[in-house]
Amino acid sequence: GLQGSCTAWSTGYAARAYYAAAVEARHITLPQSIPSPAFIYNQIVADPADCGSGSSITLALEVLKQYGTMSLADYPYDQDNCAYPSDDELARGNDFRIQDYQTVDFTRLDQVKGELADGNPVIIRVVPDETFDTLWDKPKAVWHSPPLPEDSFGHAITLVGYNEAKQTFKFINSWGPDWSDGGYGRMDYQTFLNRTTEAFVMKLPAGEPTVPVADLDPEEAPSPEEAIVPEEPVQPADPAPREAIDLNGLQCAKVQISTRGSRKVAEGFVSTPADLDTVTAELQGEVDEVDVKLAPWPQCEALLTLDAQLAETDVPKIEVTGTELKTGDTFGITVDTPDFDSYVHVAYVQADGTVVNLQQVDADHLSTIAAHSEIKFGDGEQGRDKFEVSGPYGDEMLLVISSRAPLFEEPRPQTETEREFL
C-alpha cells in the first residue's frame, strides 16, 4: 500500500509470523495465525494524520514485547486508515508477544549469517537507491549498490536466508507479491554492508526455532525428455584456452573460454560480485554462456596457487560428516590420501581468518602416509578432538595437500592468519 508501515510489516508480518509457524506450529496461510502489521503501525506512526509517515524498528519491536498484537483477521490492513486502536482493540491485542529483541552487529557478516543459520530472521533498516526500484519486475535480479553517501530515507526489510555460492542474502519486502520474486528480493553481501544501518532479531518465550531459515534455492525440475543425451565434453576453443579479458583489473580471478559442442562458454572464478559483473559485461556478445563462479578470498588465492595440481586426478579426497549442521552440532572430517605414499598437510581455514594446521610435517620429522589411508579429525573418537559448530559464521575452507616432499622446512604454527599461511 501507500503507508509508511514497512517497520510493522518487517517485524510483525515477516519475522513474527515465521516464529508463529516454526515455533508455535500455527498455520500461517490463515489470517488468524498472522500478526497484524496495521495494529502495530497504528500505534507507532510518527504522524497519525499522515499515513505515509514512517516509524522505527525498535518501536515496532517494543509493541510486540510489551503488548503483542491482534491477528490480521481481527485487525485487517487498510492503507487509508492509521488511527490509533480503540481501548477494546488494545485489550484484545495481546497475542504474538515476544520475550525480547536484540541488536545484531550488521558490520560482521558472520554474525548475521549465524542468526539466520540458527533460524532467526534478521530485521534490518537499509537505505535504498534507484537500483532498488529496478527489482520490481526482475524476479532473479540481485540488488547491487555502492556505499551510501549519507544516511537518508530508510526502509525496513527482513532477511530470511543467505546463499554462500552466490554471496547473497534473501529478504522479504513489504510491497506485495508482485514485487520482484513473489515479494522477495536478493542483495549481495557487499550491498548489505554498504546500505544497512540497523539489524535486529527477536526472541520468543517458547524458545528457539525448530527449523533453520534457509535460502538454498531449489533447482527447477527439468521437463521430461524422450532421451537423455550426455553433455558433450569440453574442448578448448584454441590449442590453449585464451584469457577472455584483462585479468589485471580483477582482484583474484581465472577466466578462460572453452567450447561445449557448438557453444562458447566462459569458465573459471572471480573473488567478488563486482568482478563477476565486470566479466559478464565484458563477455556479452562474445560467448554463449558465462559459467564463472564466485570464490571469495582466500578460496580464490588457493585455487590460483594450486591451479595445476587441482587439474590432476590423483588427489586427496575429503568427506565431512553431517548435513545441515547447526550451532552445537559435532562434525568429523575424513581425508583419503591419493594413490602414492605422501607427506600430508591439512589446514582448516576458519571464518574469522584463522588457519588451524591440523596435520603437518617438516624436514626434521619426516613421515609419509601410505596410499589410500584414512585420516580422521573432529569425531572425538580414539583420543581425537571433537569439532563443534560455533560462531563466528561464514565461508570456511579445508585445504589438503599431498606431496612427495615436505612442503615446509620448518613447521607452521598451530594457528596463523590466512595471509601468513598463503
Mean pLDDT of all residues in 386-406: 81
- Please determine, for residue 62, whether its predicted confidence score (pLDDT) is greater than 90: yes
- Is the pLDDT higher at 84 or at 121? 121
pLDDT digits (tens, 9 = 90+) for 167-182: 999 999 988 888 888 8
pLDDT of residue 230: 38
The pLDDT-based confidence of 247 (bands split at 50, 70, 90) is low
**Amino acid sitting at position 44:** I
Q: Where are the alpha helices (DSSP H) in 13-141?
A: 17-22, 37-44, 57-66, 87-92, 109-117, 130-133
pLDDT of residue 194: 92
Rounded Cα distance between 161 and 18, Å, is 12
The pLDDT-based confidence of 237 (bands split at 50, 70, 90) is very low
Residue 346: name the closest of 323, 301, 316, 368 by CA.
Answer: 316
Beta bridge partners of residue 258, listed in sequence order:
236, 265
In sign, the C-alpha dihedral spanning 153, 157, 162, 163 is negative
pLDDT of residue 79: 79
How does DSSP assign 240-301, residue by residue? SPPBSS-GGGSSSEEEEEEEETTEEEEEEEESSHHHHHHHHHHTTTT-SEEEEEE--TTHHH
User: Is-contact 69 96, C-beta < 8 A?
Assistant: yes
Half-sphere exposure of 280 (CA within 13 A, CB side): 11
pLDDT of residue 312: 78
Rounded Cα distance between 365 and 92, Å, is 74
Coil, strand, or helix at residue 90?
helix
User: Is-contact 174 157, C-beta < 8 A?
Assistant: yes
Report the predicted TM-score, pTM, of the whole model to 2 decimal places: 0.57
pLDDT digits (tens, 9 = 90+) for 208-234: 565 555 554 443 333 333 333 333 444
Residue 317: name the closest of 379, 256, 375 by CA.
Answer: 375
- Please determine, for residue 204, whether its predicted confidence score (pLDDT) is greater than 50: yes
Coil, strand, or helix at residue 374?
strand
pLDDT digits (tens, 9 = 90+) for 321-334: 876 777 888 888 99
The cell numbers describing 303, all together, are 585455487
The pLDDT-based confidence of 52 (bands split at 50, 70, 90) is confident
Q: Could you please state the CATH topology (level 3) that the domain comprising 5-203 is classified under.
A: Cathepsin B; Chain A (3.90.70)
Q: Which residue spans within 59-154 are E strands per DSSP?
A: 100-103, 122-126
